[in-house]
A and B are shown apart, each in its own frame.
Chain A
Amino acid sequence: MATKNVRLKIGEMKTSTGLVKNLELSIGSLVDDAKYPEPMGPTPMPSMTTLRDWDMKLLNKYKPFYMPDCDLCCLCTFGKCDLTAGKRGACGLDIATQSSRIVLLACSIGAACHTAHSRHLVHHLIEKYGRRFPLDIGGLNIKVEAPITRLVTGIKPETLGDLEDVLNYAEEQITQCLAVGHTGQEGNNLDFESKAFHVGMVDHIGMEVGDIAQISTLGYPKADPEAPLVKLGIGSVDRTKPVIMCIGHNVVPSVGIIDYARDNKVDDKVEVVGLCCTAHDITRYYNRGRIVGPISWQLRFVRAGLADVVVLDEQCVRTDIFDEAGKVHAPVIAASEKNCMGFKNRTNDPADEIVADLISGKVKGVLILDPEKVGEVAVRVAQQVAPIRRRMSSLPSLDELKQIAKTCTQCKQCQRNCPQDYNISKTLKVAGEGDLSLLTELYETCIGCGRCEEACPQKIMVHSLIIKAGEKAMLCEDNLCRVGRGAVSDVEIRNVGSPIVLGEIPGIVAIVGCSNYPKGGKDVYDICREFASRRYIVVVSGCAAMSAGSYRNSEGKTLYEEFPGGFEAGGVLNVGSCVANSHIAGAAIKVANIFAKRSLRGNYEEIADYIHNRLGAVGLAWGAYSQKAAAIGAGFWRLGIPVLVGPHGVKYRRMLLGREDKTEDWEVLDARTGNKVNVGPAPEHLFNSVETKEECMVAIAKLCIRPNDTWKGRSIKLSHYVDLSKRYLGVMPNDLHLFVRTMADVPSTMKDEFIKILEAHDWKETVIPDPTLLPRMVRKMKE
């Protein structure tokens, strides 16, 4: 977009007006509009309040429902303050405002995390490839390379260096939002919510920058619907080779490992495997990489003794993994400034010395901040440690398991500390009697947090018993995941723009996020398969993409083999790691820009208004646990895209709920006439938690309904809503009359049932508007 850091220095210059000596001019950036002919929209580089009016429109429709996780505030020394039931704290804050403040803080942490990750990537990649390295995330198939960045900042980045300007903006906004969390800054819950939306929007910029930087430089698939399939699961790891396990989200140290292995021609002699989002990015870079599984499998892999070296980068890393690795004599390399683990910094020491210290056991872990050195040390240590360790495990034998289980006193502390409330003590009781079936079942659904062990007064390593019972199944986990493809191409958007907006493709379901599942990962597979079979577009990322690939159909095919990888009806596309979530929002934005030809640059409100009213997209984070997931959600909220979370998502403490029984909440403007039109609860919520998979299936179909649906599109959407409701809830929906605008909306095969419902509710026909929430979008205002 710009020429950055222009410096002009004049030692001495004679002019008609006089002599100039030692003149120095420095210009931060020059906006070169010739390269970006689209005119700047009304809100480039928005501050925290620029889009506040838009936020309030959404928050007026979708009101916060707070469920405080804590009655107190303990953030300053006036406290602890009891905020129960309307009491205000020493600073004047009440519990609604405190709850929204916590939401803002969570979203700010998440946005900071992604953006700091991206800053590190951009720094590193500029160092390696230069500031002028061109951005390319899809060749000729992608002209809109950074839709979120263009929409929010007005910048059209063309080189790695341009991304620094984008990050400067993002970092400033995150700092501003974090500052609002200080005592005595903001006194209104809706203003906190608006700022949470703001930092969520910024989070998406941070993610986008990181992913387009790594796609452009590291040879990842570029918007490729046929990105290769890669091995997934603990059983897919070749245990005859030394295994290097990388945990986290930032691929840079993993690249160091892979490059070293390749350069030294040992890449076929060591296994480089990843866990959590680093795994996705390893496989985007390296076709021999393996995805072990989601975040919750860290203890499984390490305790089973499968890792010879553990390399930690950043985010979602168990902070006790050092202790766990120590028990199986697996050396640990911490490779991120954000995650030093208390290790001595050995970055400047000779590799030979570090390798010797780790192999001898003189030190159990080191901090190395040079990715190339990480690569050399990890590979050499793995090769030398593997024959010594010989897959040393910290799991008991099956006989020991039964003996340990007998020591359980049935106090139920394990269950009372289990996030899932699993009846663990019962499984131990029968295990002590020789029956491991319940423990084996638990292996399938346990999220691997280990809280049961912390609570056990008998010091039983409960999770190890679960892993041992499930070991046989674990070592057979050999499935496939499609490598993260990155962005959705402009061509794909053109192909599906019309059927999506008109409602004929019933929706886009983005199934993303972490693995804090209520009943195991199979639910994710089932949800993906249900909607792909119904020809929705299913987009996945992160740990959810791994869970989606971890099961097979009756023909033995994984989801990625059964369905195509394109952005098309019935497609299941894995965009990639956490930062690749930006491509999902990006695709929504590109529909408005490429298909509907709405101006993109600095034009946030109009694009969000378009998406909210026309694009039947829903996000589902079935196992969301993190602050990053909160920030990602907030970015979608501001775009007007509804987000569902699984039952553990209630712990985000605040939902944004519409009220379908309040008809006055559902009016939009008809852009053709300026008339107010009641469009019903479409979409009904902006953020909600669902309790079970069955409920989730129905909620997704319902949340894909939009005011702009054509009668044909609405009819298709309603038929799915009714069908899923009958199938999973065992009942017709009780709100169908709110979604029928004309009789043409009624699915032809369900006419009789609908007519009865409509008559019972005194239904009246209404019009299908050109919907908008923005008065300025009305072409002819009503007199």
Chain B
Amino acid sequence: MSCEPWQCAEIAATKKANPITKPEIAIAMIKKAQRPLLIVGSNATERYMGGKQLIDHLIDFANASNVPVVATAHMVGEFLKRGYQPAGFMNAMDIGQRVVDPEWQGLDGKGHPDLVLFVGLPYYVESLMLSGLKHFAPDLKTMTLDNLFHPHASWSFPNATLEEWAANLTVMTSKFNGGN
């Protein structure tokens, strides 16, 4: 598994993501966070692995971990079709702008997220959003749950196959109380 940017030219300078070498690292980070938030992009219905779509893996994970989900693009309908109610839905730039605002009190108005998880946005969109957060919300922790290495995140899984990705998500789901 490589820790080079998935899209080769998306390089970072001096502050690069720590690689998540095993899912337990991500699990510990998420469990430690007080107010995590998961942003899910339009590739959630475009990726299929481990016998189901990415969005189905994410619903399992969200149900198990109770991490609130923000659906971008048209993903809200896809979640609802599957019986999952995301905490919010909005344009990717809108949620990015809110997250960099230290005064934003989250979707529930109870406090700013302290860990923002990203998954399933087009690589270049996610990369630039993570860059924005790296620069303008330097105290905020960011993590990607994709199988593509994102150097602008605080923490990123390395580049991995679809099978490895499915396995990682399954492990992560299983380690939370709500998991099967």
Report which A residues bind B (CB closer than 8 A): 63, 65-72, 82-86, 95-96, 413, 416-417, 419, 421, 455, 518, 647-648, 650-651, 653, 655, 657, 659, 661, 688-692, 694-695, 699, 728-731, 734
**Which residues of B have CB within 8 Å of A730?**
74, 76-78, 80-81
**Minimum distance in angstroms from B60 CB to a CB of chain A:** 20
CB of A648 within 8 A of CB of B124, answer yes
Instruction: Please indicate the chain A residues that have their CB under 8 angstroms from the CB of B122 in the complex.
Output: 421, 518, 647, 691
Closest A residue to B74 using CB positions: A694
Specify the chain A residue showing the minimal Cβ separation from B10.
A69
In the complex, the answer to whether A85 meets B74 with C-beta atoms within 8 Å is: no
Contact B94 A68 (CB under 8 A): no
Say yes or no for B32: interface residue by CB 8 A criterion. no
Q: A66-B136, A71-B131, A734-B89 are in contact. List 9 more A-B contacts (CB 8 A).
A: A68-B128, A85-B15, A85-B136, A95-B135, A455-B8, A647-B124, A691-B41, A691-B91, A692-B42
B-chain residues with CB within 8 Å of residue A83 when the two chains form the complex: 135
Q: For A653, what are the chain B residues with a Cβ–Cβ distance below 8 Å?
A: 128
Q: Which of B108-126 contact A (CB under 8 A)?
A: 121-125
For A728, give the chain B residue with the smallest CB separation: B74
Q: Shortest beta-carbon distance, B88 to chain A, in Å?
A: 8
9 A/B residue pairs, CB under 8 Å, sorted by A: A63-B97, A67-B132, A71-B14, A648-B124, A657-B97, A691-B91, A695-B72, A695-B73, A731-B77
Instruction: Assess whether A655 is in contact with B15, with CB atoms less than 8 Å apart.
Output: no
Give the most central of B6, B8, B93, B128: most A CB within 10 Å. B93
Check A416–B42 contact: CB distance below 8 A: no
Query: With A66-B136, A68-B135 in contact, is A688–B93 under 8 Å at CB?
Result: yes
Tell which of B12, B77, B81, B98 has the most Cβ of chain A within 10 Å.
B77
Q: Is the CB of B80 within 8 A of A731?
A: yes
**Top 10 A-B pairs, shortest CB-CB distance:** A730-B77, A71-B13, A694-B74, A67-B128, A691-B73, A85-B138, A67-B132, A65-B97, A692-B73, A695-B73
B157 to chain A, nearest CB (A): 16
B contacts with A, residue count (CB < 8 A): 41
Specify which chain B residues have a CB less than 8 angstroms from the CB of A86 in the assembled complex.
135, 138
Partner pick for B136 among A96, A692, A699, CB 8 A cutoff: A96
Could you tell me if A85 and B123 are in contact, using CB atoms closer than 8 angstroms?
no
Known interface pairs A416-B7, A650-B125, A728-B74; A655-B93 also in contact (CB < 8 Å): yes
* Chain A residues with CB under 8 A of B8: 413, 416-417, 455
B129 contacts the other chain (Cβ, under 8 Å)?
A: yes
Tell me whether B17 is interfacial, beta carbon within 8 Å: no
User: When chains A and B are docked, how far (Å) is the Cα of A72 from the Cα of B98?
Assistant: 25
**B125 in contact with A691 (CB, 8 Å):** yes
When distances are taken between beta carbons in the complex, the residues of chain B under 8 Å from A518 are: 122
A165 to B113, CA, bound (A): 55
What's the least CB distance linking B159 to chain A, in Å? 9
Q: Which of B14, B100, B122, B135 has the most CB of A within 10 A?
A: B135
Residues of A within 8 A of B150 (CB): none
Residue of chain B at shortest CB distance from A82: B14
CA distance A689 to B73 in the complex (A): 10
Q: Which residues of B contact A694 (CB under 8 A)?
A: 73-74
With a cutoff of 8 Å between Cβ atoms, the chain A residues found around residue B134 in the complex are 84-85
Report the separation of the CA atoms of residues A95 and B42 in the bound assembly, to the nearest whole angstrom: 29
Most B Cβ at <10 Å: residue of A416, A419, A728: A416
Q: Measured between C-beta atoms, what is the minimum distance from A188 to chain B in Å?
A: 16
Q: Is the CB–CB distance between B13 and A690 below 8 Å?
A: no
Taking the closest CB of chain B, its distance from the CB of A726, in whole angstroms, is 9
Could you tell me which B residues sit within 8 Å of A by CB distance?
6-9, 12-15, 41-42, 72-74, 76-78, 80-81, 88-89, 91-94, 96-98, 100, 121-125, 128-129, 131-132, 134-136, 138
B128 touches A655 (CB 8 A): no
| Interchain CB contact under 8 A, A67 and B72 | no
The reply to whether B123 and A421 contact each other, CB–CB distance below 8 Å, is yes
Whether B135 and A85, one on each chain, are in contact in the complex, defined by CB atoms closer than 8 angstroms, is yes
From the candidates B80, B93, B138, name the one contacting A650 in the complex (CB within 8 A).
B93
Docked complex Cα distance between A417 and B5 (Å)? 11
Complex Cα–Cα for A746 and B87 (A): 26
- B63 CB to nearest A CB, Å: 20
Q: Given the complex of chains A and B, what is the CA–CA distance between A65 and B72 in angstroms? A: 17
Number of A-B contacts (CB under 8 A): 128
- The answer to whether A651 and B124 have CB atoms under 8 Å apart is yes
Instruction: State A17–B148 Cα separation when bound (angstroms).
Output: 89
A651 to chain B, nearest CB (A): 7
| Residues of chain A lying within 8 A (CB to CB) of residue B131 | 67-69, 71
Whether B124 lies near A419 (C-beta < 8 A) is yes
Known contacts A65-B96, A729-B89, A730-B80: A691-B72 contact under CB 8 Å: yes
Q: Is the CB of B41 within 8 A of A69?
A: no
Report whether B73 and A65 are in contact in the complex, using a CB–CB cutoff of 8 Å.
no
Chain B, Cβ-Cβ closest to A727: B77
Which among A71, A421, A518, A657 has the highest number of chain B CB atoms within 10 Å?
A: A71
Please, how many angstroms separate the alpha-carbon atoms of A647 and B77 in the complex?
Answer: 20
A66-B135 CB under 8 A given contacts A416-B7, A653-B128: yes
* B89 and A689 form a contact (CB under 8 A): no
A68-B132 contact in complex given A647-B122, A730-B81, C-beta closer than 8 Å = yes
Choice from A417, A689, A691 contacting B7 with Cβ under 8 Å = A417
Contacts of B135 in A (CB 8 A): 66, 68, 71, 83-86, 95-96
CA distance A25 to B81 in the complex (A): 80
Closest to B152 in A: A71
Distance (Å) between the CB of A384 and the closest chain B CB? 43
Most A-side CB within 10 Å, residue of B6, B9, B15, B74: B74
Contact in complex: A71, B7 (CB < 8 Å): no
Min CB distance, A415 to chain B, in Å? 9
Question: Contact between A659 and B97 (Cβ–Cβ < 8 Å)?
Answer: yes
Q: Find A655's partner among B9, B74, B97 (CB 8 Å cutoff).
A: B97
Q: Which of B9, B13, B72, B81 has the most CB of A within 10 A?
A: B13
CB contacts (< 8 Å) of A421 on chain B: these are 6-7, 122-124
User: Is B123 within 8 A of A72, CB to CB?
Assistant: no
Contact of B128 with A690 in the complex, beta carbons under 8 Å: no
Distance in angstroms between the alpha carbons of A401 and B119 in the assembled complex = 36
State whether A657 touches B93 (Cβ < 8 A).
yes
A65-B132, A416-B7 as given contacts; A647 in contact with B125, CB under 8 Å: yes
The smallest beta-carbon distance between A492 and chain B, in angstroms, is 33
Give the Cβ gap from A737 to chain B, nearest Cβ, in Å.
16
Q: Are A731 and B89 in contact (CB under 8 A)?
A: yes
Task: Assess whether A71 is in contact with B73, with CB atoms less than 8 Å apart.
Answer: no
Tell me the bound Cα distance from A268 to B134 in angstroms: 61
Kindly provide the distance from the CB of B160 to the nearest chain A CB, expressed in whole angstroms.
12
Whole-angstrom CA separation of A699 from B128 in the bound complex: 21
The answer to whether A691 and B14 touch (CB under 8 A), given A85-B134, A647-B122, A650-B128, is: no
Q: Which among A68, A419, A734 has the greatest number of chain B C-beta atoms within 10 A?
A: A68
Contact A65 B78 (CB under 8 A): no
Contact yes or no, B94 A84, CB < 8 A: no
A416-B8, A421-B7, A691-B121 as given contacts; A82 in contact with B13, CB under 8 Å: yes
User: Do A688 and B91 touch (CB < 8 A)?
Assistant: yes
Query: Which of chain A's residues have a CB closer than 8 A to the CB of B100?
Result: 65
**Within the assembled complex, what's the spacing in Å between the Cα atoms of A85 and B136?**
6
Q: Which residues does chain B contribute within 8 Å of A70, judged by CB atoms?
A: 13
Q: Given the complex of chains A and B, what is the CA–CA distance between A695 and B93 in angstroms?
A: 12
**A66 and B42 form a contact (CB under 8 A):** no
Q: In the docked arrangement, what's the CA distance between A86 and B14, Å?
A: 13
Alpha-carbon separation in the docked complex, A95 to B174 (Å): 41
Complex CA–CA separation, A69 to B5 (angstroms): 14
Q: Is the CB of B76 within 8 A of A731?
A: yes
Most chain B C-beta atoms within 10 Å of own C-beta, residue among A82, A417, A421, A518: A421
Specify which chain A residues have a CB less than 8 angstroms from the CB of B98 in the assembled complex: 659, 661
Contacts of A728 in B (CB 8 A): 74, 77
Q: Is the CB of B7 within 8 A of A695?
A: no
Chain A neighbourhood of B132, CB < 8 A: 65-68
Q: Is the CB of A692 within 8 A of B74?
A: yes
* Contacts A71-B13, A417-B7, A648-B124; A729 near B136 (Cβ below 8 A): no
Question: Bound state CA distance, A517 and B82, in angstroms?
Answer: 29
